[in-house]
Chains A and B, each alone.
Chain A
Amino acid sequence: MFRFIVRRLLQMIVAFFGTTLIVYALMFAGQGDPIQALAGERPVTEAQRAYLTEKYHLDATGVGGFFYRYFDYLSNLLRGDLGESLTGRSIGDILAAAWPVTIKLALIAIAVAVIFGVTAGVLAGIRRASIFDNATLLLTLLVLGIPTIVLAPLAQYYLGVRWQLFPPTAGADPDFYALLLPGIVLGSLSLATALRLTRTSVAENLRADYVRTARSKGLPRRRVVSVHVLRNSLIPVITFLGVELGNLMSGAIITEGVFNIPGVGFNLFRGIRTEDGPLVVGIVSVLVVVYLVANLVVDILYAVLDPRIRYE
Chain B
Amino acid sequence: MSERSDVGRLRKPSSLAGDAWRDLRRKPIFWISLALVLLVTAMAAAPGLFTSNDPTDCALSRQHAAPSGGALFGYDFQGCDTYARAVYGARASLLVGALSALFTGAIALLVGMLAGYFGGWVDAVLSRVIDIVLGIPLLLAAIVLLKRVSVDSATVRLTAVIFVLAVLGWTTAARVVRSSVISARQQDYVAAARMLGAGNGRIMWRHILPNTLAPAIVVLTIALGTFIAAEATLSFLGIGLREPTISWGIDINSGRVHMRESATPLVVPSTFLALTVLAFIMLGDAIRDAFDPKLR
Contact = CB atoms under 8 A, between A and B. Distances in A.
Interface of A: 11, 14-15, 18-19, 22-23, 26-27, 31, 141-142, 144-150, 153-154, 156-157, 161-162, 247, 250-251, 253-254, 257-258, 268-269, 272-273, 277, 280-281, 284, 287-288, 291-292, 295
B241 to A, nearest CB: 13
28 contacts: A14-B132, A15-B135, A27-B147, A141-B282, A141-B285, A142-B278, A145-B278, A145-B282, A147-B229, A149-B236, A150-B273, A153-B255, A153-B266, A154-B266, A157-B263, A161-B259, A161-B260, A247-B137, A250-B140, A253-B139, A254-B237, A272-B143, A272-B238, A273-B237, A273-B238, A280-B147, A284-B140, A295-B135
Contact of B144 (A26, A157, A273): A26
Given A19-B135, A19-B136, A272-B147, 9 more contacts: A15-B135, A26-B144, A142-B278, A147-B233, A149-B273, A154-B270, A253-B139, A269-B237, A287-B140
B259 to A, nearest CB: 5
B256 interface: yes
Contacts of B139: 250-251, 253
B278 A272 contact: no
B246 interface: no
B233 A149 contact: yes
Contacts of A247: 137
B266 A157 contact: yes
B225 interface: yes
Contact of A157 (B236, B259, B281): B259
Interface in B58-91: none
Contacts of B232: 147, 149
Interface string B237-276: 1110000000001001101100110010011001001100
Contacts of B135: 15, 19, 291-292, 295
Contacts of B137: 247, 250-251, 287-288, 291
Interface string B101-137: 0000000000000000000000000001001100111
Interface residues of B, number: 40
B145 interface: yes
Q: Which 7 A-B pairs have the closest CB atoms?
A: A145-B278, A147-B229, A153-B256, A150-B270, A145-B281, A149-B236, A146-B274
A18 B145 CA distance: 16
Contact of A153 (B145, B239, B252): B252
A288 B136 CA distance: 7
Contacts, number: 113
A153 B274 CA distance: 13
A287 B147 CA distance: 17
